[in-house]
A and B are shown apart, each in its own frame.
Chain A
Amino acid sequence: MNSPDNNRLEQQEIDASAKWPVLTFLGSALCWLVLGGALQLGAALQLHTPAFLGGCEWFTYGRLAPAAQNALVYGWGMNAAFGFGLWLMARLSASALRHGGWLFVAAQFWNLGITLGVLGILTGASTSFELLELPRFVTVLLLVAYALIGLWAVSTFCLRNTEHVYVSQWYLFGAAFWFPWLYTVAQVMLFQAPVRGALQPLVNAWYVNGLYGLWFVPVALAAAYYFLPKILGRPLNYFYLPAAGFWCLVVATAFSGGSRLIGGPVPSWVATLGTVANFVAVPAVVMISMTLFGTLAGRYAALKESITLRFVFLGLLGFVAASLLNFALSLRSVAVLLQFTLVGELRDWLLFYGCFSTMMFGAAYFIVPRLTGRAWRSGALVRAHCGATALGLVVLTVTLLAAGWQQGKLLNDPAVPFADLTKAMLPWFTARSVALMLLAVGHLAFFVNFCWSVCPFGSAAEAPAEFHLPPAMSLPAKEGHA
């Protein structure tokens, strides 16, 4: 069951076929991460120092903030998800990525689209719909690029050489279908044949909710379901739960978009339906957490050894925190206080960064040495990245929670003039900039380490990776449940 031949296949043939496409996606993802993080920091600085980059039309807050968000979500997030998703799909399907040159083309199209799109936002071609700000002229580029990527992921799955389909594959397969559908529906219903009036915000909310919940979260969970057993060498705990958790989560998430419009100009049933869907998501989150934390239980010492596990653990915490916050915000009594405050921003940020991005960091630390055949150049930079990310996330979460709560209190008190509210927010905005700066330091460490390790020159080339032969996993029954 664990023949050296199969291991050679795993480590050599599949990884060799995935090398250039995946490195291209991860490399461009990292460039966007550094750039997006810097733009985001710039926008954050403007909130407490309005004169920063003042008077320059391209870099006013209204353009910088969406440009940063789109660079991070579509530049970093999507590229990373493509790279990781394709690699994992090939690995789990025991099938090499065929004709990877097309994926290289797809990556060029995608990155060209995002580059033009982000420039478009900065120069004033934004549509101003959340996460759909990229101007309409890049839609075709993105869809063509995605068509290739999605086709490769699905065909790798269909050409699988394995009998069993593993949990991570369900999530990746689902995400591969959901994203193009969500994106096309949003584009058609908002731009090609636009719906009228208050339906537009509803379509937008449905898309945003779907992008986070049916694309980024599934990809992140695919990573968690893979890396925990992979690195610990231990089967998933409660192995009968993942299926129930999967269907419960995706069905609930698909319907929960309306809860973003509580109190808004849509009939009350729209928000109520979203709230109910969030009720139903609670057992899913419990099941998924039980499986994943249960697999880790008793082996927390492994977090010291493995940087990938550390990031995956961080991502799991982010997933639970984001799910709780999402549930809380979909209750009308909480939304009335926190809906339009910084806590609303925190909810999406925890899903995207706290859960998805940290998982991708972990995945990259595992994947890249296997593709290049060389270890990471600097362990110190790896640890710096991990520490900065963890600290930054904690500071950001605490800051935004406290700030949002105060903001909500003051907003709901009509006696407080708006200028006083802004004044009360200034220290929080500063704290937020500090947290984002920490994250940006992490990005930079990651980026430098990546370039240094991938670069085929210098001493890095002299540090070939030596992988142990992965042992076979044993059944839990053999571990003593007689």
Chain B
Amino acid sequence: MNPPPDKHTLEQAGASDESIRQVHTQLAHEKPEQAGGGYAAYPLVLLGLMCSSIFFGSIYLAHYSSHFDPLIYNENAKPVAGGPAVPVVTPAMLGKRVYTNICMTCHQQNGQGQAGVYPPLAGSEWAQGSEERIIRIVLHGLSGPITVEGKEFNNAMTPLGTVLKDEQIANVLSFVRQEWGNTAPEVKAETVARIRAETASRTQPWTAAELEKLGK
């Protein structure tokens, strides 16, 4: 005593596999226009669609592929003749890294130092003054009292001559002299090399008094 069968429990096929194959084989051999019924109009529309997609694709590719340059990440950029454009790197930009790694601990990111402990660099007459003095400070360190921007400090700065190369010292000093509103000229690596050679025998940190003799 079965209930009437539910139509959704059993799918009936509308055509045998064999006839599906045969009908489509026959259809594939006919030309569209023979089939009549306005079929022939469709391929033209599709051909147009196909062509326009390839056309727009090509334009898009030409515009935004940046000539398949492996070093261009912005699709609006075009490679410059003679290789990718290498932006100018200033010594100050390179010096920023040295500053971040070494100097920032005491003199802080904003170059303000720490009141009463570490002197400021921003606006400092020392930082923007004679390069003879600041190169020596970086090479051999500084100890004892010093007046910066009218405030007294009495501390010791680490000598960095053995840690940093001439070029790095030049870069970091250039950075310090041009950051935070400072406007002193860049320091050249050759100047650092010259002073390093002149003071090769120096083993002790400098004192402010010694440096002041070198002029501003």
Q: Are A240 and B8 in contact (CB under 8 A)?
A: no
Task: Identify whether the interface residues of A are mostly helix, strand, loop, or mixed.
Answer: helix
CB distance from B184 to the nearest CB of A (A): 35
Which of A10, A240, A383, A462 touches B17 (beta carbons < 8 Å)?
Answer: A10
Say yes or no for B16: interface residue by CB 8 A criterion.
Answer: yes
Residues of chain B with a CB closer than 8 A to A378's CB: 6, 9
Contact A470/B13 with A164-B24, A268-B65, A269-B66 known, Cβ cut-off 8 Å: yes
| Shortest Cβ distance from A226 into B: residue | B20
- Say which residue of B20, B39, B72 sits within 8 Å of A230 (CB atoms): B20
B: number of interface residues (CB 8 Å): 54
Enumerate chain B residues within 8 angstroms of A248, measured Cβ to Cβ: 50
- CB proximity of B32 to chain A, nearest CB, Å: 6
CB nearest to B22 among chain A residues: A1
Contact B12–A230 (Cβ < 8 Å): no
Binary per-residue interface labels of chain A (458-480) against chain B in the complex, 1 for a CB within 8 Å, 0 otherwise:
00001101111011111111000
Given contacts A164-B21, A282-B53, contact A307 B11 (CB under 8 A): yes
Task: Provide the bound-state CA to CA distance between A238 and B44, in Å.
Answer: 13
Q: How far is the CA of A365 from the CA of B7 in the complex (A)?
A: 12
Q: A482 in the interface, Cβ–Cβ < 8 Å?
A: yes
- B26-A475 in contact (CB<8A): yes
Among listed B56-64, B102-110, B132-140, B162-170, interface-contacting one? B56-64
Identify the interface centre among B2, B28, B53: most chain A CB within 10 Å of its CB: B53
Query: Contact: B14 with A305, CB < 8 Å?
Result: no
A471 touching B72, Cβ below 8 Å: no
Asked if B75 and A482 sit within 8 Å, CB to CB, the answer is no
Is there an interface contact between B35 and A279, defined as CB atoms closer than 8 Å? no
Q: Are B24 and A166 in contact (CB under 8 A)?
A: yes
Q: A229-B20, A239-B28, A463-B2 are in contact. Are A472 and B15 (CB under 8 A)?
A: yes
Given contacts A267-B69, A267-B71, contact A472 B21 (CB under 8 A): no
Look across to chain A and name the residue whose beta carbon is closest to the beta carbon of B31: A240
Please give the distance in Å from A244's CB to the nearest CB on chain B: 8
A471 adjacent to B15 (CB under 8 Å): yes
| Complex alpha-carbon distance, A163 and B25, angstroms | 9
* With A6-B16, A290-B42 as contacts: A272 and B60 at CB distance below 8 Å: yes
Question: How far in angstroms is the closest Cβ of chain A from B22?
Answer: 6
Q: What separation, in Å, do the CA atoms of A203 and B208 have in the docked complex?
A: 61
**Complex Cα gap A138–B3 (Å):** 49
How many angstroms from the CA of A380 to the CA of B3 in the assembled complex?
14
**A268-B64 CB under 8 A given contacts A2-B19, A283-B50:** yes
A17 to B71, CA, bound (A): 57
Residue of B at shortest CB range from A10?
B17
Question: B113 → chain A, closest Cβ, in Å?
Answer: 32
A268 and B35 contact, CB distance less than 8 A:
no
Interface string of A293-309 (1 = CB under 8 A from B): 00000000000011110
- Measured between alpha carbons, how far is A271 from B70 in the docked complex, in Å? 12
Which residues from chain A contact B6 at a C-beta distance below 8 Å? 375, 378-380
Closest CB-CB distance, B213 to chain A, in whole Å? Answer: 53
For the complex, give the distance between the alpha carbons of A235 and B25 in Å. Answer: 11
Known: A1-B18, A306-B11, A308-B11. 17 other contacts (CB 8 A): A162-B21, A166-B21, A167-B24, A229-B24, A231-B12, A231-B13, A233-B13, A235-B27, A236-B27, A267-B68, A268-B77, A272-B75, A279-B54, A383-B8, A462-B2, A471-B15, A471-B19
Q: Identify the A interface with B (CB < 8 A).
A: 1-2, 6-7, 10, 91-92, 94, 162-164, 166-167, 226, 229-236, 238-241, 244, 248, 265-269, 271-273, 275-277, 279-280, 282-283, 286-287, 290, 305-308, 332, 365-366, 369, 375-380, 382-383, 462-463, 465-468, 470-477, 481-482
Chain B residues at the A interface, C-beta cutoff of 8 Å: 2, 5-28, 32, 35-37, 39, 42-43, 46, 49-50, 53-54, 56-58, 60-61, 64-66, 68-75, 77
Can you report 29 A-B residue pairs in the complex whose CB atoms are below 8 A from each other?
A1-B22, A92-B17, A164-B24, A229-B15, A229-B24, A231-B14, A233-B15, A235-B27, A236-B24, A240-B32, A267-B68, A268-B72, A268-B75, A269-B66, A272-B60, A273-B61, A280-B53, A282-B53, A283-B50, A286-B46, A290-B42, A366-B11, A375-B9, A375-B10, A468-B12, A471-B15, A472-B16, A477-B35, A482-B36
